[in-house]
Amino acid sequence: MQIQVTTRETAAAHGVSLRTAQRWAATGRLNATKVAGRWIVTLTAVTSLNDFKPAQIEKARELIEQGGIVRFRGRRIFRTVSSDGTRTYLTAPQACNCAAGLRGRHVCFHRIAATILAAA
């Protein structure tokens, strides 16, 4: 599956400015195409996103937009904030230590957000 993200999300993923992400898109460093005046960045090899529901992916994108997930260590470990803002979790694409993540029955949207950021 391919997933498409904005240059804003790409900038958040890499910890660079929006303008830098736009320059990467323009110079071909990102797999990006311009659609109606906006860069759309296509991520590939994110096969694990196949099983995610669109509503979960939407929650994950909101988390990214709101800055509720930040890179913690290396490229694939993130710190995420709970919806009510009172707790933080450690999240990787493969695992999360929130309640839903520890139950392990479903992939929580923190992990989806981590998957998107790790691939960006």
Chain contacts with Zn ion (rule: CB under 5 A): 96, 98, 101, 108, 110
The CB-of-78 to Zn ion minimum distance in angstroms stands at: 10
Among positive and negative, which fits the CA dihedral 102, 49, 59, 82? Answer: positive
Q: Please identify, using beta-carbon distances, which residue of 22 and 56 lies nearer to Zn ion.
A: 56
Minimum distance, C-beta of residue 91 to Zn ion, in the bound complex (Å): 6
Distant-in-sequence, close-in-space partners of 39: CB < 8 Å, separation ≥ 6: 6, 7, 21, 22, 25, 26, 30, 32, 33
In whole angstroms, give the CA distance from residue 12 to residue 9: 5
Give the shortest CB-7-to-Zn ion separation in angstroms.
26
84: enclosing H helix or E strand:
none
Q: Which is nearer to Zn ion, 13 or 25 (CB)?
A: 13
Q: Which is nearer to Zn ion, 98 or 117 (CB)?
A: 98
Paired with 88 in beta bridges are: 81
Nearer Cβ to Zn ion, position 20 or 97?
97
Q: How far is the CB of 115 from Zn ion (least distance, A)?
A: 12
